[in-house]
Amino acid sequence: MKQMRRKKSFFVFVVLIVFVLTQSVLSQQKEQEEELPQLVFDDGIAGKLEMEVHYGYWTLDVFKGLFEDDLIREFADVIADEIRIEVKNSGHNVVKVSHDHNLVFGSSGSVFGFELRFYPGGRYSSFSLGVSIEKTHMEAIAEGPVNVQFSDGSSAEMDAVGVVELNPLFTNLSFRWDIKPDWVVTPYFVLGLGVAALNGEVSYHYNGTYYWAKGTEYHEGKDVRDIKEVEEEPEIDINLPNILPLLQINIGVRAEVIPHLHLRAEAGIWDGIILRAGIAYKF
In this structure, the answer to whether residues 125 and 236 fall within a common structural domain is yes
In this structure, the answer to whether residues 31 and 16 fall within a common structural domain is yes
Interval 177-232: pLDDT, tens: 999 998 999 999 999 999 999 889 999 999 999 999 999 999 999 999 888 777 66
In this structure, the answer to whether residues 4 and 62 fall within a common structural domain is no
**Considering the chain, what is the average pLDDT of its residues?**
85
In this structure, the answer to whether residues 114 and 198 fall within a common structural domain is yes
In this structure, the answer to whether residues 85 and 13 fall within a common structural domain is no
In this structure, the answer to whether residues 233 and 268 fall within a common structural domain is yes
In this structure, the answer to whether residues 188 and 59 fall within a common structural domain is yes
Q: How far is CA 25 from CA 20, 29, 121, 146, in A?
A: 9, 6, 22, 69
Task: Specify the pTM.
Answer: 0.76
Domain coverage including residue 159 = 46-282
Structural domain count, the chain: 2
What is the spatial distance between Cα 211 and Cα 190, in angstroms, rounded to a whole number? 56
Percent helix, percent strand, percent coil in the chain, to nearest 5: 25, 55, 20
Give me the pLDDT at residue 74, please.
86
Give me the pLDDT at residue 122, please.
87
C-beta atoms surrounding 121 within 10 Å: 15
Identify the DSSP state of 152.
T
In contact, 217 and 209? CB cutoff 8 Å: yes
Give me the pLDDT at residue 208, please.
97
CA dihedral sign, ordered 178, 282, 175, 62? negative
CATH of the domain at 58: 2.40.160.20
Give me the pLDDT at residue 123, please.
81
Give me the pLDDT at residue 240, please.
65
Tell me which residue of 102, 103, 100, 219 sits closest to 149, measured CA to CA: 100
In this structure, the answer to whether residues 156 and 232 fall within a common structural domain is yes
Tell me which residue of 138, 117, 141 sits closest to 270, measured CA to CA: 138
In this structure, the answer to whether residues 171 and 237 fall within a common structural domain is yes
pLDDT in tens, the chain (283 residues): 433 344 444 444 444 444 443 454 345 445 544 544 444 344 567 779 999 999 999 999 988 888 888 889 988 998 999 999 999 999 999 999 999 999 999 999 999 999 999 999 888 889 999 999 999 999 999 999 999 999 999 999 999 999 999 999 999 999 999 999 989 999 999 999 999 998 899 999 999 999 999 999 999 999 998 887 776 665 555 566 788 999 999 999 999 999 999 999 999 999 999 999 999 999 8
In this structure, the answer to whether residues 135 and 89 fall within a common structural domain is yes
Give me the pLDDT at residue 148, please.
97
What is the spatial distance between Cα 45 and Cα 75, in angstroms, rounded to a whole number? 54
In this structure, the answer to whether residues 71 and 154 fall within a common structural domain is yes
In this structure, the answer to whether residues 33 and 79 fall within a common structural domain is no
What is the spatial distance between Cα 39 and Cα 123, in angstroms, rounded to a whole number? 9
Give me the pLDDT at residue 53, please.
98
Exposed, middle or buried by CB within 10 Å (0-12, 13-18, 19+), for 256?
middle
C-beta atoms surrounding 9 within 10 Å: 10
